[in-house]
Amino acid sequence: MKLEAIPKVRTITKEEFIQDYFKPQKPLVVANAVDHWPAISKWSLDYMAEVAGGKNVPLYDDRPVRHEDGFNEPHAEMKLGEYIALLKRAPTKYRIFLWNIFKEVPALQNDFDYPDFGLKIKKKLPMLFFGGEDSYTFMHYDIDLSNIFHFHFEGKKECILFSPSQTKYLYKVPHSIITHEEIDFSNPDLEKWPALKKAKGYHTSLNHGEMLYMPEAYWHYMKYHTPGFSMSLRSWPKNPMNFAKGLYNIFIMRHYDILMRKVKGQPWIDSKNRRAVQRTNRLS
């Protein structure tokens, strides 16, 4: 893989962002994008445990998808306070994924606003993500293909991104939004996954208070080097084709895949993984 560093700036104007990054669909890190947020000084793992420690949270790990799994079905559940204590005690694969804490602790909404980057942000969908040391997400793109503004809190997180143009090299699993789950994108075996040698992407590390802009339909892999958490704000895709594909993913592809898991069982999952390898190696 050939990875170039994502540009990082201290601040940026709305006009500069639209012209230099949104229109050409290029990723960007802004170090001081929201220094005015109370969250920058308040939000930490300890603070989240204090204000929401009694809330039950869904947990995910890096086990391969099985046919009996529902779409985005959690692997475990725990009180947030217990989970944060686990994060601080030892490395764990458990992550919190797409949790809307603001429905359960509305007061947290007073700690941030919706920055004006020239895109209309979906105000009902701020989501939090937590992870422990060395935990990671599979390489994936978001099912609705939104533009993502990703704000990190506490610790350091590694991010690897690929544009949609690189899909043919990434071993995408059919009827899904992920690549083959056996690939370790932080240290890929290029002999086993030879098409990755041709893939060109981006990488960065996020620190507390920094924002990563991920253009619509971008593939992304996240690995926590230390325990921490992030919040994503979303804006609908502006490319009509991406908007249509997002609707297809949500209302057709997802339900078709769930149906086939029920009808064919694990052979359906295994077949998709084989096709990901065969198709990628052939097309690349």
- Domain regions of the chain by residue span: 2-283
Residue pLDDT, tens place only, 52-88: 999 999 999 888 888 777 767 888 999 999 999 999 9
- The packing angle between helices 254-264 and 266-283, to 10°, is 120
Q: What is the pLDDT of residue 71?
A: 65
Using the predicted structure, report yes or no on whether residue 235 has a pLDDT greater than 90.
yes
Task: Give bridge partners of residue 153 from the DSSP assignment.
Answer: 229
What's the rounded Cα separation, in Å, for the pair 77 and 61? 11
- Specify the CATH architecture of the domain 2-283: Sandwich (2.60)
* Helices within the chain (DSSP H only): 14-17, 38-42, 45-52, 80-89, 240-248, 254-264, 266-283
What's the rounded Cα separation, in Å, for the pair 215 and 28? 9
Can you read off the two tokens belonging to residue 194? 């030879």
| DSSP 8-state secondary structure symbol assigned to residue 148 | E
| DSSP 8-state secondary structure symbol assigned to residue 284 | -
Average the pLDDT over 8-30 and give the result. 98
**Per-residue 3-state assignment (H helix, E strand, C coil) for 173-239:** CCCCCEECCCCCCCCCCCCCCHHHHHCEEEEEEECCCCEEEECCCCEEEEEECCCEEEEEEEECCCC
pTM: 0.95
